[in-house]
Structure 1
Amino acid sequence: MKKILVLLVLALSFSGCEKDDICTEETTPRLVLEFYDVSNPANLKNVVSLKIKGEGAFNDLDLGTFNGVSKVELPLNPNAVTTKYSLILNSSGTSPNQDNLEFNYTTQNVFVSRACGYKTIYELNTANGLVLTEPDTPDSPWILSYTLQTNTITTENETHLKIYF
């Protein structure tokens, strides 16, 4: 009788439990950049002292300095249609070199799940989705060319932009 009572109490205590709402799916993706050697375009190339800072709506965003990496992920502003970044190569050296990237896009909010909520998908504009510029005090550009792999940014599992330097 006691065993049945204990089992009944345990069964009732676990019957009130609900499935945990833990988000295991990917939410709003960041734009993935990969850096390549311009003289050998098939080879990835690591950046040296690359400082990335947001401009405009992201002017307080400092993504930090990247060393020895060939891949960087940049967040786009889901509440705007343009996000600008300055990419400063050799930022800690005596001759830093700055190039600016401007991303122009439209956004679409997509429901993921009850646990995750919504995520934003970005669609880069066809005509001017990516604009590469020099700062007000120009130097020679360090980004020699680029290839936009896709206009639609739905996941971080793929490269969106290849930069050759």
Structure 2
Amino acid sequence: MRNLKPYLILSLLMAFLSVSCERDDICPGSTPTTPRVVIDLYDFENQESSKNVFGLLAAGIENEFILSGYNIITTNQLVLPLKTDDNTTQYVLIEDTSINDNGTPNDSSDDFYNGNSDVITINYSREEVYVSRACGYKTIFKNVTITIEDDGDNWIQSQQPLNPNQSVEDETTAHFNIYH
């Protein structure tokens, strides 16, 4: 019996340690986090028909950074991030974008973009939602609206939310349609 006592204590200690361990708190990549607004693009003349925008460039207004994945592309859908620290996000969307090298092809510092630019303003209210201990919180957006600034030469003709009091809680379906 004395010979078994150290083994019994060691076994109980090992069992206690293995039960008290926690699994790593790692947020899985498949967990939905703060969603982006999804906008489908349609033909203004035939509003049931999806329509590509050619040479599209999307940039933030306040930071002037070109949105990753939107540097002169052809697409019929926009997936735009919204600010989580403000109730308004603005983008300039430029159709038929080309780069003007300002007569200095070897100096990109003075290059600028040509094209038909429209500014959209997205307004919303924010709500933080607990996801999990590993993932923390995500922000969802309620009462989302889009306004198109009229510049006299808009390529975006109109927009339509897909639901009244549109919210953005995931990226599984479109939230707005833009007609051009």
The answer to whether the superposition gives a TM-score over 0.5 is yes
Residue 78, structure 1, aligned to residue 78, structure 2: no
Paired letter, 1:39: E
Seen in structure 2, the aligned counterparts of structure 1 residues 66 and 18 have a Cα distance that, compared at 3 Å, is farther
> Counterparts of 1:131 and 1:68 in 2: how far apart (Å)?
23
Q: How much does 1:160 deviate?
A: 0.9
- Segments of structure 1 that go 5 or more residues without pairing to the other structure are 1-7
Equivalent residue in structure 2 for 1:41, among 23, 47, 51: 47
Q: Which residue identity is paired with 2:167?
A: T
The percentage of aligned residue pairs carrying the same residue is 35
Q: Does 1:133 align with 2:139?
A: no
Match of 1:62 in 2: 66
Larger radius of gyration: 2
Cα RMSD (Å):
2.4
SS of 1:44's equivalent?
coil
* Structure 1 contact 112–118 (Cα < 8 Å) conserved: yes
User: Equivalent residue for 1:96?
Assistant: 115
Secondary structure of the equivalent of 1:109?
strand
Q: TM-score, normalised by structure 2?
A: 0.72
What's 1:145 paired with?
Answer: 158
- Give the CA deviation at 1:17: 6.0
Q: Cα distance, 1:84 vs. partner? A: 0.7
Amino acid at match of 2:35: P
Deviation above 3 Å: which 4+ runs of structure 1? Answer: 11-18
